[in-house]
């Protein structure tokens, strides 16, 4: 079980780092495509970690993992599309 808790801690640190990146990009006033994609990528990674490891869907029937990660993927993809249309 030590294995599991080490994983949780590692995940938390990764998510904090991803949040810091997004916040930093915001502070730096970063606009444009690269910044947008980076932030969405950070959000996607954080989301997958929550889904797989906090919600523990990594060890659940595949259907649920597909549904939730699919949701995350679809929403982020549509957001990317909206930026592409808007610019």
Partner 1 sequence: MARAFQIKVSFNMQHINELPAVEPHLRGDLAIWIFILAELLAFGVFFVVYAFTRARHVELFNAAQLGLDRNAGALNTVLLITGSWCVAHAVAAARQDRQAIAVRWMAGGLCGGLAFLVVKIAEYQAKFAAGLSMDSDTFHMFYFSLTFFHFMHVVLGVGILIILLFKLRAGAYGSHDAHGLETGAAYWHMVDLAWIVLFPLVYVMH
Where along the sequence are the contacts to partner 1 (CB under 8 A)? 1-5, 8-9, 11-12, 15-16, 19, 22-23, 25-27, 31, 35-36, 39-40, 42-43, 46-47, 50-51, 53-62, 64, 67-68, 71-72, 74-76, 78-79, 82-83, 85-87
CB of 28 to partner 1, least distance (A): 11
CB of 71 to partner 1, least distance (A): 5
CB 78 within 8 A of CB 54: no
CB of 5 to partner 1, least distance (A): 6
CB 7 within 8 A of CB 52: no
């Amino acid at each position: 079980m030590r294995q599991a808790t080490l994983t949780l801690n590692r995940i938390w640190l990764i998510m904090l780092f991803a949040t810091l990146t997004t916040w930093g990009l915001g502070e730096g006033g970063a606009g444009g495509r690269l910044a947008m994609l980076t932030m969405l990528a950070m959000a996607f990674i954080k989301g997958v970690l929550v889904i797989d490891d906090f919600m523990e869907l990594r060890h659940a029937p595949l259907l649920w993992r597909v549904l939730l990660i699919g949701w995350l993927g679809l929403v982020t993809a549509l957001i990317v599309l909206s930026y592409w249309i808007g610019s």
